[in-house]
Amino acid sequence: MALRAPVNPRTLLTWLGLAFGAAGLVLQFVLSFQGAMANGRDIPGFLGHFFAFYTILTNVILVLIYLSELLPTSRLALFRRPVVRGLMAANIALVALYVYFVLRYLSQLDGLLQLADTILHYLCPTLYLLWWVVVQRHGLLRWTNIPVMLAPTFAYFIYIMARGTWVREYPYPILNAINLGYGVVLLNAVYMTVGLGILTLIVVALDQILGQPRMPIDLT
């Protein structure tokens, strides 16, 4: 008699990604809101600041991707597109690598702040990359998709620089034009673009490899 797993592994990965992503975002929102109110920031100002972080935006999109896998609604059709799912694999990998190699040395976190940071910067990226490899249908990305896959991050950079000019604050030290000047910020943006470009190339290459038909194994 064939044995079946009680839960489909693909469905389990989807629910795990959704649960941890939503939990991490809610926890970070509550903690950030408490800190903002204690420091006298108004609610619109807090919301603008909170959703200026690349980590928050990317994790929100991951939650929407998981929901698009679970819900058939056409409103989530954008998040079923292979290009969107592929670019998010590169972007969330960039988030994890940047935090691990740069941001974690700039501040010391503990308690619930450390928990939220670990969920959003390490656990969620790991779960999504695993989900993308296992669940996503592969062989659909093309090298010509790379400019489109880089475009959302470019749009984010333009938005953050415009917002920073207006409100005089930036979500990340490497983008702080007040302290660094626009020349250094642009150079930092070039470095990050190169890094994201390399990750995007890896994602497209991996997608094509995983999409190749597998030869059946002859056991006779």
pLDDT attached to residue 105: 81
Sign, CA torsion 116/64/99/171? negative
pLDDT in tens, 171-185: 999 999 999 999 999
Q: Give the C-alpha separation, 214 to 192, whole Å.
A: 35
Q: What is the pLDDT of residue 107?
A: 79
Is residue 50 within 8 Å of residue 59, measured between CB atoms? no
Q: What is the DSSP string of 42-71?
A: -HHHHHHHHTT-HHHHHHHHHHHHHHHHH-
In terms of DSSP H, where are the helices of the chain?
9-38, 43-50, 54-70, 82-101, 111-118, 124-134, 146-167, 177-180, 182-210
Domain spans, the chain: 9-210
217 dihedral zone (left: phi>0; alpha: psi -120 to 50; beta) = beta
For the chain, residues with pLDDT lower than 70 are 1-7, 214-220
**pLDDT score, position 118:** 95
pLDDT of residue 36: 93
Q: What number of other Cβ atoms are within 10 A of residue 212's Cβ?
A: 9
pTM of the model: 0.92
Give the model's pLDDT for residue 44. Answer: 93
